[in-house]
Structure 1
Amino acid sequence: MTQFSRRVKELRLAGMLLTRVPMGTLSDPVPELPDARWAYPLIGLALGLVMAVVAGIAQALGFHYGVIALLVVAIGVLLTGGLHEDGMADLADGFGGGHTKSRRLEIMRDSRIGSYGVLALGLTIALKAQAMFVVFQSGAVLWPLIIMAVSSRFFMLAVQEFVPPARQDGMGFKASKTGGWRIWAGLALTVVIVWPLGWSGLVALLAMAGVAAALSFQAKRLIGGQTGDVLGAVQLATECAGWLALSALL
């Protein structure tokens, strides 16, 4: 197998993990989950482009910026199957409702959603949509969508790189692997995408990094590390933080 075909397989595997878009069937040898991590920001780029196209069409049709923001959120949920939103809800329920590590992990594996999850998810989506609306009003519509989609998925990769898995099973464990070139590939793509925004993009990245670090610290303290739910929450929370930072700057 050539290096190019290997990278294509890893990209498809990342798409299977992070979206509900059909990616076909991978032939043997199938890449291991950690090998696909470098492609998380690239999957974010594809999602951001789709959302930018939807936003551009809606803008051309004369939709209000508030409606466009909600349409973009809805398209994102549709493309990912609500994967990250589910992670945010599960994390909030586990962290808020459990008093021991084992109990928190048990709650996070429960498919039912509790009051902590409802509140965390509702407030995060509301804040993100409102911040989007403010940014769109400033005249920046398309590029910020791409930046936020790429950057938030880079921070998923970063958390997997620097935070150990909390369980000995599940996505957080299976996709966990430190070292190598993948973190740098993800960082390079993120920097290239954010560069056109200049200082505003840098400040947004710093805000996202702060949120990712805070969630990682809490995850390490409360459950011993990261899980798939933690990674999903990191994506959604950092994206929200990035939009809030841009709304204040633009």
Structure 2
Amino acid sequence: MTYAIQWVRSLLFLVAMYGGMALVGILYAPWAIVSRRGALAACRHWCKLVCWLAGWMVGLKTEIRGTPPTDEVMVASKHQSFLDIIMIFAHVPAGRFIMKRELLWMPVLGQYAVRIGCVPVNRGKRGAAIQKMLSDVESGKSFPGQLIIYPQGTRVAPHVKVPYKVGAALLYRELGQPCVPAATNVGLFWPRKGIYRKPGRAIVEFLPRIEAGLPRDQFLPQLEAVVEEASDRLMAEAGSPKPAE
């Protein structure tokens, strides 16, 4: 019975979440059309709304640790569900994402993603996709702020091992900016698929930055080590320790 009640609460939360997306998108549209600041404000306010709704509707509290960056950096984060996207964007002043191209066709979300300067990537053509991503990032340098990338390239369930892709290292070199790693445990509460949301405390932790200029063969292993270690620590804190290998 408890599971059924939580499932219904989760369904109502999702209805409120996406209904809120439509409402915020419409209300902010005039400002967003004329100014990127309007689009950023709309997205950030919706993300904060979702975190608030999750807390009282399904008992899922959100917590940010570390210091969210406010300067021009690359943020390289563990990606477990839509919630880590929401939490990161809610706490950086001018975020934009490397995102899969299919999301551009989603109502409201796709239009705002374009307006804030997100970089769409066709993941089906790996070599061409990397070159297109680098080209689009170069042409989008007029969008100052925090470029957010998920170096594993997709959502990864807790404790599942997926290698970090070379695109993150190439982007780090192309930007010539520091990288702020970010770890999370959100997948324990908000899964990649399905309706059910589990009560608990979802955490995103911004880690000490990796300064610009490291060679690729140093940057990528360092990034993977710090993000995976911190994510394992956060999941263990939430009661899900890393399985023995």
TM-score higher than 0.5: no
* Structure in which a larger fraction of residues adopt helix: 1
Scaled by the length of structure 2, the TM-score of the pair is 0.30
Scaled by the length of structure 1, the TM-score of the pair is 0.30
* Structure in which a larger fraction of residues adopt strand: 2
